[in-house]
Each structure stands twice: as C-alpha cells, then as structure tokens.
Amino acid sequence: MDAEPEHDWPQAVDVLNEDGRSGIVLLCEHASNHMPARYHGLGLEAPHLQRHIAWDIGAAAVTRRLSAQLDAPAFLSNYSRLLIDLNRPLGSEGSIPVRSEDTDIPGNAGMDDAERARRAAVMFTPFHDEVARHLDIRQAAGRSTKIVTIHSFTPVFLGESRPWHAGVLFDRATKLGEGILDGLRLDPSLNVAPNVPYVISGDADYAVPIHGDQRGIEAALVEIRQDLLASEAGIDEWAGRMAAALVGLDEART
C-alpha cells in the first residue's frame, strides 16, 4: 500500500466545519465512488462505478451545501460503498456486497478475512471513530445534538418505480423524523413519506442505531430521489429545502 500513490488512499473521512454552531450533525456515508487502483474496479466496467451501486449520487453535494447553510459539522466518506458500506454493520450481508441491485461484484466474491479486516481498518473504523469522537465531545459539553444523515435513492429499483421525492427514515427519533417531514411538506407539490423506500433496522443500518439511538441522540436518515439531484440547480433546491426544514428543529438556534 505504501508504494501506491498517496492520493489513491485518502483519509476515510472528510470533516467539514467541525466547530460549527449548529446542533445538527450531518453524515454522508455514501459520499464517494473512489476506489484505489489496486482493486481494478472490483472487476466492473467503468460505467458501473458511476451508478448508484457505487455511491449515493448527489448526496455529498447536498451535504456540503447544508453544512455551509446551517453552520453545521459534516462527515463525508472518501471511499466507494462497494469496497465496504459505512451504513451496514460489519459482517452483515450488505457490508461488502457480492451483488448490488442487479449486478454481481466479482472483486468481492470469495474474499478472505484479512482483506475484510483491511477494508474495515482503513475505511470503516476511522470514519465512525471520528464521528464518535465528535459526538463524545458534544455530549461532554452538554451541546444540543441531532444527527441527520444524507442519502439518495434510485427512481426505479429492480423494475419497480418509486414515486416519492424523498423519504425520512427513523426508529426512535419520531419527533425529529416527523419534524423534517413537516418542513418538507410545506411544499405541497412534494411526495414525501416516513420510512420509504427503506426502513431502519439494526441488522442493515449503522449510523442511526449506533450513533443515534444507542446514545440517546435523535437521529434520522434522509433519502432524496437521485434524479432530482442530477443538476446543480436540483442540488441547490434540495439543500435549500433541507436547510429550511432543519433550521426550525435546531435547538442550538433557539
């Protein structure tokens, strides 16, 4: 690994605005489709690495804009979810997928324990350790904290159309989740709903149950349909919508 280009192995996480005054902490676990050259694209043709299977298209840009608009800290991943998914528990079926949507991932098939441990040590653990460190500091200082993690989803999944513009996923944080939905519903043209197109599960999610619910911190995951984030105008529009929905829930501002 040391002989490879340094830029091929970035730090696991980009931390933005860590000292921001907002009570909202933003996460973006699927921010990047970066894959070091040694993995040879996991045996996939290059166009596959631009698809949703490799990252959440548009999510990083929305997160960066939100961080600036809310004066909020943000934590963004720097590796593709195909190498290891930061929002799946280690060892779970989705952690290092051998198939994603309708696509086999040859480079993940038959992986040995040493490579699994290497990816966890380089990509997964440092990201979540940094988030946990930040949350520890906030809790020790008695700072207001709510976690909002930003994702995007495909408009069609395995042939099934998804009509929602956005979904808000939550388990214990009903007040936060419903509050975000209420803010988005101020635009009557939007089709938004709770716990679509997925639901939070301890077996298949990490950030909300581990960093949020287990700590007693309100945490929600926002899914925005990725075709709505296909342009700079769409990204700006959704960052603005999310900022408007979140500012009234930010106790650090009240």
Alpha helices in the chain (DSSP H): 59-70, 113-119, 125-141, 174-184, 232-247
Give tens-digit pLDDT for 142-156.
999 999 999 999 999
**Tokens 């949020």 correspond to what residue?**
212
Q: Which CATH architecture has domain 6-253?
A: 3-Layer(aba) Sandwich (3.40)
Residue 57: pLDDT over 70? yes
More confident of the two residues 5 and 26: 26
Would you put residue 239 in left (φ > 0), alpha (ψ -120 to 50) or beta?
alpha
> Mind listing the pLDDT tens digit for each residue in 203-232?
999 999 999 999 999 999 999 999 999 999
- Is residue 2 predicted with pLDDT exceeding 60? no
Model pLDDT for residues 122-136, shown as the tens digit of each residue: 999 999 999 999 999
Domain map of the chain by residue range?
6-253
The yes-or-no verdict on residue 78 having pLDDT over 50 is: yes
pLDDT at residue number 4: 84
pLDDT number for residue 173: 98
The CA distance from 75 to 203, in Å, is: 22
**Is residue 48 very low, low, confident or very high in pLDDT (cuts 50, 70, 90)?**
very high
* Residue 45 CA: distances (Å) to CA of 34, 56, 126, 171: 14, 18, 29, 37
Q: With left for phi above 0 and alpha for psi between -120 and 50, is residue 111 left, alpha or beta? A: beta
- Segment 14-39, tens digit of pLDDT: 999 999 999 999 999 999 999 999 99
Q: What would the pLDDT profile of 85-137 be if each residue is shown by its tens digit?
A: 999 999 999 999 999 999 999 999 999 999 999 999 999 999 999 999 999 99
What's the pLDDT at 23? 98
- Has residue 55 got a pLDDT over 70? yes
